[in-house]
Structures are given as C-alpha cells and as structure tokens.
Amino acid sequence: MKLSYSVVLYRNSVADVLKLYRNLVETVPCDCEYMIYLVNNSKDDTELEQCLKQIADSDENVILITAEDNNGFGAGHNLAIRQANSAVHFLVNPDITIPNSDQISKLVDKMRNQDIVMCAPKVLNTDGTIQKLVKHSPTVLDMGIRFLGRRILTKRQDWFVYSDEYNVTHESINLAGSFMACRTKTLKKIGGFDERYFLYMEDSDLTRSMARYGATIYYPDAYVVHAWQRENRKSLKGIRIMLQSMGKYFAKWGWKLW
C-alpha cells in the first residue's frame, strides 16, 4: 500500500516540526511505502524553511513544497495532493501526534474497503478526553449557537456533535480536518479542497464533496492525539474569517436555517 501525508505549516517552531516529522516516520506501517509532503505557507520564515530543507535533503521520502503565497489551509494541502501518487493520502495538522503504527494500519485496513473514500479516527485531547469533532450537516442555527457557548440549547449542541456516538463507527458528511485518511484518486477527482475557503469549514466542505463518491466515516477503533487550538474563538480576526467561511459554505450547499 502506498501512503502519502501532507502537513501545512505556518510559522511553526523548528522543535515542533522536527517532533512531527519523527512521529510521522516512526508510525508508518512496515509494509507500506510512503511520501511526506511538508508545505511551508510562510516562505519568509527563513528558520523554518531551512529546517524543512534539511529534512527533505536528508530523507528521500520527504518533499518540501514552499508556497509562493499563503492562500490558506486547503490551498496548501492542494499543492501536495496534486503531486501525490498513493492509494491513501493523510491530511495531518501540525499539532497531531500518532501514538503508534497500529493506528495507521487500522485506518489503512479500513480504507481497503473500496466503498469508503474518507476515514477519520477518534481524536483525543492531550489529557485523554475525546474531542467531539464529528458533526451533522451544519445549519445556520447550529453554527450560531456554538459561538454562544455550551449552555445554549445544550441538547441541540450534543446532537450536532454526535455526543453519544464516539465509540461507534458511523457515517458523517462533516468530519474534522485535523486528521483524515482519504482515497487519493477521489481527492484528485474532486480537485482537493475548495480554495475559496482560507481557513475554517474547508474540512466540512471537503467531506461533503468526497461523500458524493463513497462513504465518509468516523472510525473510533483508531485514534490520534490533537493539541487543539480554537483561534476562531480567541480573536476578532479568527471570528471574522470563520463567519466568512460560513457564508461561503451555505452559499455553496444551501442556506438551511435549522
């Protein structure tokens, strides 16, 4: 089985990048070929660029791609997706840790089912609790109340994030982009990410596009750890970008209010 991985980086610390690189290499199943695409979306960060170049020069299974401009998370991944020559392509956030190669093997084995085009594992916080990242198809109501906090319409929020289904394999057309296993030929068929999204909701859009060609599933038998950061809740700029992405999403897929 040929695997490929893409990671989009923007002003990440050298220490974190080296840790991520070692983790990816050490958790590739021994019976798989692989290629890792490190996409630098911050070409003016000379320290990061030098680090990535050293990694690529020392490992023939690593390709460095330096974007001419930072056109966003999805556009960065697309630079790698266009080059990928694999059966399964992994979309990986820089703050992901893969516990061991068994987790990748489980996802690869699941993807041997040709009806499945995307598979997302269980995602844990660093303290071992579950990140409830799998969602139903979003409505304006669901997106709005999530900005207002957990105390608003709690039953609706629990339903939206499948609160009681994180130990059960199930289909969802709204999987999280922090870590995804995707059928490469299907990714290429849809053209990768919609680059109109700079950040946020590009993963929701991608899942929905992939679901046109097969099953997009949540698979809790495999797991990864994610040091989650919610920039859209931390800054006015993040909130503005999130609202813009919501507008693009609903304009594309339909304005369902509730």
The per-residue pLDDT for range 74-104, each reduced to its tens digit, is 999 999 999 999 999 999 999 999 999 999 9
pTM over 0.85: yes
Q: Which helix (H) or strand (E) holds 228?
A: none
Average pLDDT over all residues of the chain: 96
User: Minimum mean pLDDT among 5-9, 18-22, 105-109, 148-152: which range?
Assistant: 148-152
Burial class (CB in 10 A: 0-12, 13-18, 19+), 134: buried
pLDDT for the residue numbered 147: 82
Q: How many Å apart are CA 214 and CA 114, to the nearest integer? A: 8
Buried b (16+ CB within 10 A) or exposed e, 164-193: eebeeeeebbbbbbbbbbbbbebbeebebb
List the one residue out of 82, 89, 57, 86 whose CA is nearest residue 67.
82
Which whole number is the average pLDDT over 130-135?
97
pLDDT digits (tens, 9 = 90+) for 174-210: 999 999 999 999 999 999 999 999 999 999 999 999 9
Concatenate the DSSP letters of all residues of 184-213 into one string: HHHHHHHTSS-TT-SSSSHHHHHHHHHTTS
Structure tokens, 207: 């899942």
